[in-house]
Amino acid sequence: MTDQTAENPVIAIRRPSRLREFWASNIAYSFRRNPVAIVSMAIFLLITGVAFCAPLIAPFDPYDPAQIDILNSEYPPFWVYGALPEFSLGTDDQGRDLLSTILYGTRLSIIIGVCAVAVQAFLGISIGLISGYVGGRTDSVLMRLADIQLSFSTLMVAIIFLALTQALFGSEIFSRYAVVFLIAVIGVAEWPQYARTVRATVLAEKKKEYVDSARVLGFGPGRIMLRHILPNSLSPIFVISTVQVANAIISEASLSFLGLGMPPSQPSLGSLISSGFDYILSGSWWITVIPGAVLVTLVLVINLLGDWTRDVLNPKLYKG
Amino acid sequence: MTLLSVRDLTVKFGTRGTPVTALHGISFDVARGERVGVVGESGAGKSITGFALMNLLSRPGYIDSGEILFEGKDVTKMSDREIRRLRGNRMAMIFQDPMVTLNPVLTIGQQMIETLRAHRRLSYDDARQISLVKLKEVYIPSPEARLDQYPHELSGGMRQRIVIAIALLLDPQLIIADEPTTALDVTIQADIMELLLEMCRSNMVGLMLITHDLGVVSQVTERTLVMYAGRIIESGKTRAIINDPQHPYTQGLINALPQQTPPGTRLRQIPGSMPTLSTMPPGCPFNPRCELATDVCRARMPEITQFGEVQVACHEVKRLHAELAELEGAQ
**Residue A216 near chain B (CB below 8 Å):** yes
- Phi/psi of residue B28, nearest 5 degrees: -165, 165
Can you name the residues that pair with A107 across neighbouring β-strands? none
HSE, side-chain direction, 13 A CA sphere, residue A234: 7
Q: Is residue A38 part of a domain?
A: yes
Amino acid A150: pLDDT: 86
Distance from CA of B177 to the nearest CA of A (A): 12
Report CB contact under 8 Å: A219, B97. Answer: no
Distance from CA of B310 to the nearest CA of A (A): 32
**Residue A223 near chain B (CB below 8 Å):** yes
Query: Which of A180, A185, A242, A233 has the alpha carbon at shortest distance from A205?
Result: A233
Q: Is residue A310 part of a domain?
A: yes
- The whole-angstrom separation of Cα A228 and Cα A211 is 7
B144 vs A contacts (CB less than 8 Å): 10, 12
Any idea how long chain B is? 331
B147 vs A contacts (CB less than 8 Å): none
Close Cβ partners of A4 (under 8 Å, ≥ 6 residues apart): none
Are the C-beta atoms of B314 and B302 separated by less than 8 Å? yes
- The whole-angstrom separation of Cα B77 and Cα B75 is 5
Are the C-beta atoms of B61 and B48 separated by less than 8 Å? yes
Q: What is the pLDDT of residues B138-183, one digit of tens each?
A: 888 888 888 988 888 888 888 888 998 998 888 889 999 988 888 7
Q: Alpha carbon of A253 to those of A154, A287, A306, B294: distances in Å?
A: 13, 15, 20, 83
Q: Is residue A26 part of a domain?
A: no
Instruction: Look up the CATH number of the domain holding residue A244.
Output: 1.10.3720.10
Report CB contact under 8 Å: A10, B142. Answer: yes
Can you name the residues that pair with B228 across neighbouring β-strands? B231
Distance from CA of B85 to the nearest CA of A (A): 6
Query: Which of B160, B214, B164 has the alpha carbon at shortest distance from B187?
Result: B160
Q: How buried is residue B33: exposed, middle or buried, by Cβ count under 10 Å (0-12/13-18/19+)? A: middle
The DSSP code for B280 is: P
Q: Is residue A70 part of a domain?
A: no
- The whole-angstrom separation of Cα A31 and Cα A157 is 38
Amino acid A203: pLDDT: 92
Alpha helices in B204-269 (DSSP H): 214-220, 238-243, 248-255
Report CB contact under 8 Å: A11, B142. Answer: yes
Per-residue model confidence as pLDDT tens for chain A (320 residues): 444 444 445 555 566 677 777 777 777 888 888 889 999 999 999 999 988 888 888 887 877 777 777 777 777 777 877 777 777 787 777 778 888 888 888 998 999 999 999 999 999 999 999 999 988 899 999 999 999 988 888 888 888 888 888 888 887 888 888 888 889 988 888 889 899 999 999 999 888 888 888 888 888 888 999 988 998 888 888 888 888 998 898 888 888 888 888 887 888 888 888 888 888 787 778 888 888 899 999 999 999 998 888 888 775 655 44
Amino acid A13: pLDDT: 55
Are the C-beta atoms of A68 and A62 separated by less than 8 Å? yes
Instruction: Kindly report the pTM of this predicted structure.
Output: 0.78
Please state at what angle helix A178-189 crosses helix A191-206, rounded to 10 degrees: 40
Q: What is the pLDDT of residues B300-331, one digit of tens each?
A: 888 888 888 888 888 888 888 888 888 888 77
Residue type, A84: L
Distance from CA of A114 to the nearest CA of B (A): 26
A232 vs B contacts (CB less than 8 Å): 103-105
Amino acid A286: pLDDT: 83
Chain A and chain B share a number of CB contacts under 8 A equal to 72
Give the domain range for residue A168. Answer: 34-64+76-317
Q: How buried is residue A218: exposed, middle or buried, by Cβ count under 10 Å (0-12/13-18/19+)? A: buried
Residue type, A21: E
Close Cβ partners of A49 (under 8 Å, ≥ 6 residues apart): none
Q: Is residue A301 part of a domain?
A: yes
Amino acid A156: pLDDT: 86
Q: Is residue A8 part of a domain?
A: no
A227 vs B contacts (CB less than 8 Å): 106, 114
Q: Is residue A193 part of a domain?
A: yes
Residue A216 has its nearest CB partner, among B56, B103, B148, at B56
- The whole-angstrom separation of Cα A191 and Cα A198 is 11
In the predicted model, residues of chain B with pLDDT beneath 70 are 1
Q: Is residue A2 part of a domain?
A: no
- The whole-angstrom separation of Cα A235 and Cα A245 is 16
* Number of domains observed in the structure of chain A: 1
**Residue A213 near chain B (CB below 8 Å):** yes
- The whole-angstrom separation of Cα A238 and Cα A220 is 26
**SS3 (DSSP) at B27:** strand
Any idea how long chain A is? 320
